Amino acid sequence: MALSCAIALQAHAKEKADTGIIADNAKPELISKQFSFTEGPAPDKKGNIFFTDQPNNQIWEYSTDGKLTLFLEGAGRSNGLYFDKKGNIIACADEKNELWSIAPDKKIKVLMTHFEGRQLNGPNDLWVAPDGRIYFTDPYYQRKYWTRQKPDIEAQRVYFLPLGKKDPVIAAEDMVKPNGIVGSKDGKFLFVADIGGDKVYKYKIGKDGRLTDRQLFADKGGDGITLDNRGNLYLCGNGVYVYDPSGKLIQHIDIPEKWTANACFGGKDRNILFITASQSIYTLKMKVKGIE
């Protein structure tokens, strides 16, 4: 009887620990460890994933059939990436603190250069809303390749670039150091990881594009963030922390690297969690799918 109880308790504990988001028996798989610092993963419409190796000034592609190829040299020291509806990569080009649009044929168009005549801190991560607005975070991280030694703009904010415009608009400035950013599929809500304030906030997106009704979503900050089709939020930093739609921590995915910078969902069925972590990239098969 005691043995039966012990087995039942173990089964209950296992069932409780299984959040139903990771595929059965799946573990993070190391794909490559050949980079300097990986960031900004983003899937195209087919599920191929593009990501940056910022110190080496490159953008790479990891295809749905598992092939790893160099997509672009001279990538403007890009950090965060996101695809627009036309299939262009929108990039936070950190070298000159700009936003770029990179076409499939690799032609580059500079979308934005300054805010009110001043150089931005360094666009870091971004999300493209359904209406085409580009939301991006602008923290200050001193780069070795910059000549300047201090910011032109003291405030570290979230901005948005209206569709077809060249001048960004302040979306929110009520945080310490915004980093990761992602919006809901319906375009009504925006999540921002305040790495400086050690928090994740959820905002409503107003009709004018500005962010309102800030709510504390998670009492933990981090780097890149993404969402799955159940509304769970994935927060990168020391591995990947997963929060349900209410902000409750439901899972921690351990990644054996110093820092996990970012993640996205890709693959033909959008059920592969692709993780950029220091010099490496990993994949993890999931039961959930992405919404990008």
- For residue 165, what pLDDT is reported? 95
Q: Which of 225, 130, 229 is nearest to 182 (CA)?
A: 225
User: Cβ(99)–Cβ(111) under 8 Å?
Assistant: yes
6 has pLDDT over 70: no
236 SS3 class: strand
Q: What is the DSSP string of 86-155?
A: TSPEEEEETTTTEEEEE-TT--EEEEE-EETTEE-S----EEE-TTS-EEEEE-----TT-S-SS-S---
Do the Cβ atoms of 221 and 233 come closer than 8 Å?
Answer: no
Closest CA to 237 of 218, 221, 219: 221
Helical (H) or strand (E) element with 5 = helix 2-17
Is the pLDDT score of 44 beyond 60? yes
Question: Rounded to an integer, what distance in angstroms lies between the CA atom of residue 142 and that of residue 108?
Answer: 25
Indicate the pLDDT class of residue 17, thresholds 50, 70 and 90: low
Lowest model confidence (mean pLDDT) among 10-19, 62-71, 165-174, 248-257: 10-19
Question: In the predicted model, is pLDDT for residue 258 greater than 50?
Answer: yes
pTM over 0.85: yes
Instruction: Report the range of poorest mean pLDDT among 11-15, 99-103, 280-284.
Output: 11-15
Query: Quick check: 18 pLDDT over 80?
Result: no
**Residue 7: pLDDT over 60:** no
pLDDT value of position 173: 96
What mean pLDDT is predicted for residues 73-96? 97
Whether the pLDDT of residue 130 is over 70: the answer is yes
pLDDT of residue 24 exceeding 70, the answer is yes
Half-sphere exposure of 162 (CA within 13 A, CB side): 8
**Per-residue pLDDT for 13 more than 90?**
no
Residues 6 or more apart whose CB falls under 8 angstroms from that of 200 comprise: 191, 192, 193, 194, 216, 217, 218, 220, 221, 222, 225, 233, 235, 243, 247
Which helix or strand (DSSP H or E) is residue 9 part of?
helix 2-17
* Domains of the chain, each with CATH number or no CATH: 25-285 (2.120.10.30)
251: its two tokens: 């899972």
| 3-state SS class at 257 | coil
pLDDT tens digits for 173-186?
A: 999 999 999 999 99
Mean pLDDT of 212-241: 98
60-82 per-position pLDDT tens digit: 999 999 999 999 999 999 999 99
Quote the pLDDT of residue 53.
98
Model confidence at 292, pLDDT cuts 50, 70, 90, reads low
Averaged confidence pLDDT in the chain? 93
